[in-house]
Amino acid sequence: MPLLSDPIFGQTMITLMAAIVLVLQITLVAQKSLVSSIYVFALQSFLLAAIAGTIAWFTGAGHIYMAAVLTFLLKSLLLPAILIRLVEQIRIEHEMKPLLNVPVSVVISGMLTLLAYVVAEPLQQQMSFGSPSSLGHNTLPVAVALFLIGFFLIANRRKALSQVLALLSLENGLFLAAISLTYGMPLIVELGVFFDVLVAVLVLTILVGRIREAFDSMDVTRLSRLRG
Amino acid sequence: MALAWLLAIPLAGAAATGAARRRAWMEFIYCLGAGAALAASAFLAAAVLSGGPVSFLNGFLYADALSALVTLLTCAVWAFSAPYTVGYLRGAQPAGAPARLGIRELRLYYALSHLFVFTLLGVSLTGNLGIMWVALEGATLASVFLVAFYGKPTSLEAAWKYAIIGGVGLSMALFGTILTYYAAFEGTGMETWEALNWPFLIAAAPSFNPLVMRLAFILVLLGYGAKAGLAPMHTWKPDAYSEAPAPAAAMMATAMLNCALYGLGRFFLLSARATGPGMPSKLLIVFGILSIAIATPFILVQKSYRRLLAYSSIEHCGIITLSIGFGGPLGSLGAVLHMAFHSLAKPLLFFSAGNAQQHTGDDSLRNTAGGLVHALPWSGAALFAAVLAVTGTPPFPLFLSEFTMLRAGFAQGHAWASITAVILLVLIFSGMFGHAARLLLGPVPDLPAGDRNRWTVYPLAVLSVVLLVLAFWIPAPLSSLLAQAASLLEVKP
Amino acid sequence: MTATVLHAVLQGLLLLLLSPLLSGLIRTAKARLQTRRGPSPLQPYRDLGKLLRKGMVIPETASPVFAAAPFVVFSTTLLAGLLAPTVFAAAPLSQFGGVLALVYLLGLGRFFLALAALDTGSAFGGMGSSREMTIAALAEPALMLAVFTVALTAGSTDPSRMAQAAIGQSWRFLAPSQMLAFTALFVVLLAETGRIPVDNPATHLELTMIHEAMILEYSGPWLALIEWSASIKQMVLLTLLANLFIPFTLASAPGVPAILSAAALYLLKLLLLAAAVVLVETTNAKMRLFRVPELLSVAFVLGALALISTFLFGGR
């Protein structure tokens, strides 16, 4: 069977890319520099777009191509560019100073990955594998893991901008879940989601800028005047 | 078609505000839009009552009695808050904000408010659960700037918390929506966007994978629950409500809360049909009780009355959730009634408290000298009435809805939950009443006489009258709308 | 029986004769990449020959451990090499132990080396063995995790079986667990063989050296033995890496052409892996010693992820 139409090859490639996406998520956890985190996120989004493209290729569904192209343009080019520009504009410090140190964070991420496996396993039990229509279904645990680690990242970050990045990586987990479970949400919903993500980043970056002006820092632990 | 027109009103309003050059035009557009929307939503409700659910563009827009009710409430709150907004923004602004709002700030505020209403109407008027999520996320993004409007450090802090918790919460809800779509996709083989349409979903729900739907419901409960302000995802609420301008906070505390609970209710019905009502109901009851319980101590020891209102909102969110969770005909009726009455009582509370804050320049309950009712006779009286109303004191109609909720609890065999709720409600009543008395009663304070602004006083009078009338007489069309909405919210096997 | 003995003898000879060449090739290629001419690839043979002919200086404080260590190191390393499959899918001594035996034979050698370094009582020896042990303690868990991942998919800890199980499955080497385990094992390989960025095999700088510090007191034939076994160890680890993860080239059928092509492909794989090592060595700078644990913890995390992902993707 020619390579590019062998579904087992497609399955292997998707699984491999999903694993790298997971490794990149853990890299985000361990990463201290803001700018490299943005690049890691861009790479992760690019791999997600590639996964979507692979699924589209093997299922021949046009709207998944659309989702792949949109992910590529929006999440791996446009959003990183916006974030990088913001970093340069307001000249923030590049160290991100997480609350927990790197080894502990990485261990927690590993545990969250296991938790994701526990959560997703019963769902996977009921899925049928091996048929051409099951392509990519086995990445569900990775999607859940991205989601959980994204949560942890938000909680573990002090800098406003790195929280935005964490939120985006969490969103990547959702995209992977959508693409692997159902081959993408219906196009119109997908478009709405993309639009919302874009607007959310714009809103948050404006907010980051204003927080920076008002507090002379992006450290959200300083945002603690409101209590009770 | 009526559905599209209704959505077009705030959108056109936002565009017109963007083009407007003068303050008066913006104010006129805002009030005109609110009035038109109220009329259009009443028209929509009448159409739904007489002819059943209406849908447009293959069910992309869809309204049954429940969504018509939520739409009507959103438009009603908007209509009441529009003149109040005009007066509030003309009045004195809090310390730390620009003393007089410039035309740019006003344009931003009015345009964003239009967009906020647009997204809220989108939530209740779409028949597609995916689009519903998109609209609710849009509502969050539109309201972030309303919270950050004054640009003070505390406003930015509140807006940041709100944006991050809202964003995280909604991402969970999106995951739940994806899983629901997966369940529909797997159960029925439907692969187009129509697979997320409400009539299709609710009919097909029994064929959904219960395991998937259980997970989906938990995620949506956490997500939309965070948006509605259910404990323990409520922490953004006190900050956001106390930092946003009072009319925007009122919109968020009523219209947005309704919309989030409406979305939650839809998913509750779906998963109750797919998995049986046991687990979803229990979860709602637990989260409902937890919300009321967490709000209670904060209400009792609260230092600031704007934050007090937020905790009261958390409590009411808990009451509605609890009532949906109790289920049965009484539970769903209680939830619908409470949603409706709360949407009228809470703006009264926010508006009168906003007047008080604007007049004294402070929202502290500790530093108050009391006797505010002497300086602000209208707002003071309205505040007192509103506190009585939201704590469910008879004759105000919230007594009726809370009573219905409790009866449902006993009828459905949740006696302990009901008893806990009664105790907590009594505690909250005493707390709120004590705070109101300390603020309002007492010797004549050293303050100039207030309540000079008609724009901020008349809405209070109208709202109080409407509330009192509803306590004794609910017009027949409204009562049949409520009854139909309640029966839609009831889990049927 | 005779076949096994013959196989063992041939594989032993292969390791003994080829491992210095491999070290030499790496050294030459590295020099060329740095635009130096560098020594000839055959230089290690000359070094070994020279050392074997020379006399020895033994420190006065040394105990018999110092004398025993070179032989222990040499024999354990060679024995470990006989446990790994090279050209054939079956390793000559596979009845005697699996991959655990292999790892711990290497561990035993390292233990004696560290002991001998302490034995002389010199400051450098103590420093070297303490550093070596620190790194080993961090590298070993990563190594074990990666090895277990492969063992889990194959259902056996016998490297021969592990290799055989992988032969039939197409694309298995692209499975995430395999890729992650491979990466983890590669990092461990760099640490275990004292390569940049962990250790620099070409320096005797007091502050940085690890392996060289341990063998500072050795000279003559004993030094030759130790250097030789270091080369063999490197070749064994490269073999393990090559044959566990890319096993399709192993000869399973008898016959001269099949064996010859398998042998050629085996050498090719070794050369490719050696080229990867060279690339890493030239593109990276040596890490500060305190940063090495971070690198090894990356390897550990990768190994753990590899193990998790065998479950995560259900092997499907």
Q: CA B401, CA C208: separation in Å to the nearest integer?
A: 77
User: Among candidates B143, B161, B159, which has minimal Cα distance to B151?
Assistant: B159
Instruction: Give the nearest partner residue to A189 out of B134, B141, B179, using CB atoms.
Output: B134
CA–CA separation, C272 and C263 (whole Å): 14
DSSP state at residue B279? H
Per-chain mean pLDDT for chain C? 86
Closest CA to B354 of B333, B330, B380: B380
> Which residues are CB-neighbours of C122 under 8 A, at least 6 positions away?
C59, C216, C217
* Lowest mean pLDDT segment, chosen from B344-358, B382-396, C90-104, C215-229: C90-104
pLDDT score of A92: 65
* pLDDT value of residue B486: 94
Question: What is the C-alpha to C-alpha distance for residues B251 and B471, in angstroms, rounded to an integer?
Answer: 22
Distance to chain A for B478, nearest Cα, Å = 33
Determine whether the interchain pair A211/B174 forms a contact, defined as Cβ–Cβ distance below 8 Å: no
Q: 3-state class of A33 per DSSP? A: strand
Cβ-based neighbours of A158, under 8 Å, separated by 6 or more: A96, A97, A98, A99, A219, A220, A221
CA distance A210 to A216: 9
Q: Are B169 and B175 in contact (CB under 8 A)?
A: no
Torsion over CA: C220, C223, C229, C231 (sign)? negative
Question: In A, which residues are within 8 Å of B123 by CB distance?
Answer: none
**Nearest to residue C274, comparing CAs of C313, C235, C232, C217?**
C235
Structural domain contains residue B172: yes
Cα–Cα distance for residue pair B103/A106, rounded to 1 Å: 50
Q: How far is B80 from chain A (nearest CA, A)?
A: 28
Residue A154 maps to a domain? yes
Q: What is the mean pLDDT of residues C24-32?
A: 91
Residues of chain B predicted below pLDDT 70:
98-99
* Amino acid, res. A131: S
- Compare CB distances from A15 to C176, C302, C311 and report the shortest one's residue: C176
Cα–Cα dist C204/B203, whole Å: 78
Q: What is the reported pLDDT for B367?
A: 77
Q: Is residue A17 part of a domain?
A: yes
Distance CA C30, CA C27 (A): 5
Helix (H, G, I), strand (E, B) or coil at B128: strand
What are chain A's partners, defined as 3 or more CB pairs within 8 angstroms?
A: B, C
CA dist C152 and C180 (Å) reads 14
Element (H, E) at A90: helix A79-90
Residues of A in contact with B193 (CB under 8 A): 186-189
Amino acid B320: pLDDT: 96
> Which of B171, B195, B243 is nearest residue A174 as measured by Cβ atoms?
B171
A214 domain-assigned: yes
pTM summary value: 0.86
DSSP category for residue C208: T
Euclidean distance between CA atoms A186 and B191, whole angstroms: 7
Examine the pLDDT at C203 and tell me if it is beyond 80: no
Tokens standing for A155?
Answer: 């909680």
Whether B493 maps to a domain, the answer reads no
Query: With contacts defined as CB-CB under 8 Å, which chain B residues touch A133?
Result: none
The token pair at B94 is 């809090």
Average pLDDT of span C39-64: 90
Contact B10/B27 with Cβ under 8 angstroms? Answer: no
Measured CA to CA, the distance from residue B163 to residue C165 in angstroms comes to 52
Q: Average pLDDT in the C225-231 region?
A: 93
Is residue A145 less than 8 Å (CB to CB) from chain C? yes
With contacts defined as CB-CB under 8 Å, which chain A residues touch C301? Answer: 26, 106, 110
The per-residue pLDDT for A131 is 52
Q: Which residue has the higher pLDDT, C298 or B12?
A: B12
Count Cβ neighbours within 10 Å for each residue of C276-313 and write b for 16 or more, e otherwise. ebbebbeeeebbeeeebbebbbbbbbbbbbbbbbbbbb
| Ranges assigned E (strand) in chain C | none
Buried b (16+ CB within 10 A) or exposed e, A110-135: bebbbebbebbeebbeebeeeeeeeb
Neighbours of B42 (CB within 10 A): 18
Packed helices B153-188 and B210-228: angle between N→C axes, nearest 10 degrees: 160
Q: Cβ contact (<8 Å) for C175 and A23? A: no
Interface membership of B107 toward A (CB under 8 Å): no
CA distance A172 to A153: 13
A224: which chain B residues are within 8 Å (Cβ-Cβ)? 157
Q: Which of C19, C17, C4 is nearest to C239 (CA)?
A: C19
Tokens of B218: 């938990």
Which residues of chain A lie closer than 8 angstroms to B239, CB-CB?
Answer: 226
Is C175 at the interface with chain A, CB within 8 A?
Answer: yes
Average pLDDT over chain A reads 83
Q: Check: CB of residue A47 under 8 Å from CB of residue A20.
A: yes
d(CA A212, CA A215): 5
Residues in chain B: 493
Closest residue by Cα to residue B446 from B377, B380, B360:
B360
Is any Cβ of chain C less than 8 angstroms from the Cβ of A110? yes
Q: For B489, how many CA atoms within 13 A lie in the half-sphere containing its CB?
A: 35
Q: How far is CA C132 from CA B418, C96, C125, in A?
A: 67, 28, 10
Q: Residue B193 and residue A187: Cβ atoms within 8 Å?
A: yes
Range of the domain at B225: 2-488
Task: Look at A210 and B209 and tell me if their CB atoms are within 8 Å.
Answer: no
Q: Do C and A share at least 3 CB pairs under 8 Å? A: yes
pLDDT at residue A196 is higher than 50:
yes
Put simply, the answer to whether B181 touches A211 (Cβ < 8 Å) is no
What pLDDT was estimated at residue C316?
41
Name the residue with tokens 């509803």: B470
Which amino acid, residue C244? L
CA distance B109 to B249: 13
- For B211, the enclosing helix (H) or strand (E) is helix B210-228
Q: Letter for the amino acid at C69?
A: A
Q: What is the CA radius of gyration of chain B?
A: 21
Hey, which residues does C251 pair with through a beta bridge? C88
Determine whether the interchain pair B298/A182 forms a contact, defined as Cβ–Cβ distance below 8 Å: no
pLDDT tens per residue, range A116-164 = 888 888 877 776 554 555 677 788 889 999 999 999 998 888 888 888 8
In this structure, what token pair is assigned to residue B208?
């959904």
Per-residue confidence band for C315, with pLDDT thresholds at 50, 70 and 90: very low
Which tokens is B484 given? Answer: 């139909």
> Amino acid letter at B282?
K
Q: What is the pLDDT of residue A198?
A: 86
Q: Are C184 and C146 in contact (CB under 8 A)?
A: yes
pLDDT of B73 reads 96
Domain count, chain B: 1
Question: What is the DSSP secondary-structure string of B329-380?
Answer: HHHHHHHHHHHHHHHHHHHHHHHHHHHHHHHHS--BSSS--S-HHHH-HHHH
Distance, CA of B238 to CA of B313 (rounded, Å): 9
CB B209 within 8 A of CB B313: no
Q: Using CB atoms, which residue from A12, A22, A110 is nearest to C171?
A: A12
Chain A touched by B216 (CB under 8 Å): no
Two tokens at A97? 């100073």
Taking the Cβ of residue C76 and every Cβ of chain A, the question of whether any pair is shorter than 8 Å is answered with no
Separation of alpha carbons B116 and B143, rounded Å: 6
Give the number of beta-carbon pairs within 8 Å between A and C.
61
Host domain of residue A167: 3-222
Q: Is B209 helix (H, G, I), strand (E, B) or coil?
A: coil
Give tens-digit pLDDT for A48-75.
Answer: 999 999 888 888 777 888 889 999 999 9
Query: Quick one: which H or E segment has residue C232?
Result: helix C220-245
Measured distance CA(B245)–CA(B355) in Å, rounded: 11
Which pLDDT belongs to residue B151? 85
More confident residue, A160 or C205: A160
* Neighbors of chain B with 3 or more C-beta pairs under 8 Å: A
pLDDT at A17 over 60: yes
Selecting from C170, C177, C314 the residue whose C-beta is nearest the C-beta of A8 gives C170
Lookup: tokens for B409? 């609890």
Q: How far apart are CA A226 and CA C175, in angstroms?
A: 50
Distance in angstroms (rounded) separating the CA atoms of residues B111 and B101:
15
A192: nearest CA in chain B?
B134
Contact C309 A114 (CB under 8 A): no
How many domains, chain A?
A: 1
Put simply, whether A122 touches C (Cβ < 8 Å) is no
Please give the angle made by the CA atoms of B416, B422 and B428, to the nearest 5 degrees. 135
Spatial separation of the C-alpha atoms in residues B277 and B280, rounded to whole Å: 6
| Residue C304 sits at the chain A interface (C-beta within 8 Å) | yes
Q: How many CB atoms neighbour CB C40 within 10 A?
A: 12
Rounded to an integer, what distance in angstroms lies between the CA atom of residue C313 and that of residue A112?
Answer: 15
| C-alpha gyration radius of chain C | 19
- Chain B interface disruption, residue of A124, A207, A213, A227, most B CBs within 10 A: A207
Contact B259, B139 (CB under 8 A): yes
Map residue A159 onto helix, strand or coil.
Answer: strand
Interface contact C196, partner A, CB < 8 A = no
The pLDDT value recorded for residue A161 is: 84
Contact state of A214 with B174 under an 8 Å Cβ cutoff: no
Q: How far is B480 from chain A (nearest CA, A)?
A: 34
DSSP code per residue over B33-68: HHHHHHHHHHHHHHHHHHH--EEETTTTEEE-HHHH
